[in-house]
Amino acid sequence: MKENQYDNPLFFEKYAQMERSKKGLQGAGEWHALQKMLPDFHGKTVLDLGCGYGWHCKYAADNGAAAVIGADISQKMLDTAQQKNAAPSVRYVCAAMEDLTFAENQFDIVLSSLAFHYVRDYEPLIKQIATWIKPGGSFIFSVEHPVFTSYGSQDWYYDESGKILHFPVDHYYEEGKRTAVFLGEPVTKYHRTLTTYVGALLQNGFTITQLIEPQPPLCMMDLPGMKDEMRRPMMLLIGAIKL
């Protein structure tokens, strides 16, 4: 059974209070970096895996995409996507991304934002995606950084007075399930190494075009906790082209 905390009403409500939920792309600390990695959407067919509120689907549509499919496991997220980010060229589909089936070469562009760390079996998924993307097509995704996922708690290590000492790394090569508390709820995520994230792409006919660990933008540095984001990488952004 694939976990779906986003359909948990309490979790869903808390998620709605995050900057990225209220403000969309402009509220997401990594958007300034991700936006630069995106290809020209004009006339393109686009798939967004784990689309959530649909911000990236709407962005693709607004930038000329011919047809966009946004897929998410959570119907509640898709209901919000339909309210906030509907567009004639965008279709939202409720499904776990591992269960999706598409035709070979169906898409010019596949996107995924902060969703693959919820997926247990990454390599079969990448193999599937590689068949869905046309030769020359783009694959751009973000995940939580292996540094951020390895220990498990996704929290800093503090001294007795509650001051941050550093960020802990452990069990790095033990890939698999971690339970972190996110928005006050236990959430299952999957840690995998950088070797695995990159290797599956190289082994499935992708060439890496960009690999970015985004830093918070200067304009967000005054938000609570944001300066600490300079102390360890939280996200990994990868851009690739299907050969």
Residues 181-220 that bind its own copies (CB under 8 A): 193-195, 198-199, 202, 207-213, 215
Among 64, 171, 179, 181, binds its own copies (CB under 8 A): 171
Tokens representing 150 are 């390895």
Q: Which is nearer to its own copies, 1 or 165 (CB)?
A: 165
Tell me how far CA of residue 42 lies from CA of 25, 61, 63, in angstroms.
20, 9, 6
Taking the complex as a whole, how short is the minimal distance between the CB of residue 88 and its own copies, in angstroms? Answer: 37
Look up tokens 């399930």; give the residue.
Answer: 177
| Closest to 53 measured CA to CA, from 29, 30, 75, 84 | 84
Question: Cβ(89)–Cβ(65) under 8 Å?
Answer: yes
Tokens representing 110 are 């596949």
Q: Which is nearer to its own copies, 131 or 209 (CB)?
A: 209
Asked if 27 interacts with its own copies (CB under 8 A), we say no
d(CA 57, CA 47): 8
Q: Which is nearer to its own copies, 75 or 203 (CB)?
A: 203
Q: What burial class does residue 32 get, using C-beta atoms within 10 Å of its C-beta: 0-12 exposed, 13-18 middle, 19+ buried?
A: middle
Site string for its own copies, 83-122 (x = CB under 8 A): ----------------------------------------
Q: Which part of the chain contacts its own copies (CB under 8 A), choosing from 14-22, 80-88, 128-136, 144-152?
A: 144-152
Taking the complex as a whole, how short is the minimal distance between the CB of residue 142 and its own copies, in angstroms? Answer: 13
